[in-house]
Structure 1
Amino acid sequence: MPITDDAELPPGLALAWSLPVKAGKLGRKPSQSVEQVVAAAVELADADGFAAMSMPKIAQKIGLTANAIYRYVRSRDELLVLVAEAAWGPAPELLPDARDWRAAATIWTRAMLDRCEVHPWLCDLPVRGAPVTPNLLGWAEAILKVLTGAGLTPGEAIACAFLLDGYARQLATTRRDVRESTATSVQSAAVTKFLEPRLQELGYSVLAAMMAGNEYTDEVVDDDVAFGLERILDGIDVLIATKR
């Protein structure tokens, strides 16, 4: 395959498509590969979060000098494109029956949540625009086929896909932040004892009743995920019904 001149392409795009690209003089023969650099970045982020994914730390992890890592990826922006592609991975298999689009959309959205459970730092990656790399395009194509198959136009389908994508990312971020928080839970005896009379004094009767019934919590449980997702799908269902 001929070497691609990617000077006018976004960082990392040609590499994400496994195309050979023009490079500067590398000096000694490379001892590692782009795949090894990306794998090391993912391991660091999985262990210590997004901030740990620095070029010097990655270089050290795989035995390169701080400068030598730029033989493989030319910038951190390029690295982040490749890391996102690797961590999201292939799109989930969805149900082909257009009449059951809700089940397929649920599988897709929950698959996003699952990927963010495996790699909690995924939600910290900057979103640079519409997907252009193979795996991310696969995720987009999967949900767009489901929604257009249910009767939506491509424009309507992509707007609804944004809703589902945003819901999954926001929930994943909230779950992670609560899980990693060192703050005392609102359900602790001390916090409850402190807040209950103050809620009553302020006239916050709904919150007071929820706290008294142990229903006021900082956890995001699966019932919460399902409830919110069902409401989004109900809205999309109304739009689909108008098309009929």
Structure 2
Amino acid sequence: MSLTDDAHLPPGLALAWGAPAKSNRLGRKPTQSVEQIVDAALELADADGFAALSMPKLAQKIGLTANAIYRYVRSRDELLVLIGDAAWGAPPDRVADAPDWRAAAAIWTQAMVDRCDVHPWLCDLPIRGAPMTPNLLGWAEAILKVLTGAGLSPSEGLACALLLDGYARRIASARRDVRDSATTSVQPAAVTRFLEPRLQELGYSILASMMAGNEYSDEIHDADVTFGLDRILDGIDVLITQKRSSV
């Protein structure tokens, strides 16, 4: 790929696909590789979140000067693209081995949630359009094979994939936020004793009853995740059934 072509690509795309980094403007032999830079950036992001990830901090971690880091990646935006693709990794093999499309879609979506649990900052990475990097395209291809195999067109499959992707990211983000905001001093029973009479006074009888029965909680349980996912899959199932009946 020529430098002119590279200049018209989104940040990080060429490097994500293994294209050589730009020429060394300092005229020195590189002491690191792009892969080593990405690995170090992943460690920093996992420790402090991607918002705290800066080029100077990364340079210091791997023993480079603040300017030398730009010999490997041209900008922080480029770096974020690379670490995002690395953090997502390859899609789970279990998707292809699932007994039917519904089980496969559930595995795919849960795997996204699980990956965000491993790298919570993935929920915060800006989405700059359709997937273009190797691993993200692998995730897209995996779910598209499932949905088109069930009878949807590629465009319908992509729309459903976007729905599942959004659900996974939202659940992962909510679980992360609840986990990070939890304090040991809060006692659920004390909260219930405080709120229940006030809810009754305001006429919020349903909420009061749920709280009294320990059915109202700020925790996001696996059953809650499965319930919401099942409703989405029910909707996709209706679309698939309609497609099959019209053939």
TM-score range, shorter chain: over 0.9
Q: Which has the larger displacement, 76-85 or 27-36?
A: 27-36
| Letter paired with 1:158 | L
In the other structure, the counterpart of 1:162 is: 162
Cα displacement string for residues 54-94 of structure 1 (whole angstroms, at most 9, x for unaligned residues): 11111111011111111110001100110111000011124
In the other structure, the counterpart of 2:72 is: 72
Are residues 1:12 and 2:12 paired?
yes
Q: Check conservation: 2:95, 2:108, Cα contact below 8 A.
A: no
- Structure 2 residue runs of 5 or longer lacking an equivalent are none
C-alpha distance in structure 2 between counterparts of 1:164 and 1:78, whole Å: 26
Q: 1:98 to 1:224 in 2, by over 3 A?
A: closer
The percent identity for this pair of structures is: 77
In the other structure, the counterpart of 2:133 is: 133
Partner of 2:7, secondary structure, is coil
Q: Check conservation: 1:17, 1:133, Cα contact below 8 A.
A: yes
C-alpha distance in structure 2 between counterparts of 1:198 and 1:117, whole Å: 36
The CA RMSD measured in Å over matched residues stands at 1.9
Q: 1:99 to 1:89 in 2, by over 3 A?
A: closer
Q: Check conservation: 1:91, 1:142, Cα contact below 8 A.
A: yes
Q: Check conservation: 2:96, 2:142, Cα contact below 8 A.
A: no
Q: 1:32 to 1:20 in 2, by over 3 A?
A: same
Q: What are the residue-to-residue correspondences of 1:99-110 with 2, within 5 Å?
A: 100-110=100-110
Q: 1:186 to 1:228 in 2, by over 3 A?
A: farther
User: Taking structure 2 as the reference length, what is the TM-score of the superposition?
Assistant: 0.93
C-alpha distance in structure 1 between counterparts of 2:29 and 2:239, whole Å: 58
| Letter paired with 2:145 | K
Q: Provide the aligned length of Structure 1 versus Structure 2.
A: 243
C-alpha distance in structure 2 between counterparts of 1:3 and 1:21, whole Å: 12
In the other structure, the counterpart of 1:83 is: 83
| Letter paired with 1:201 | E
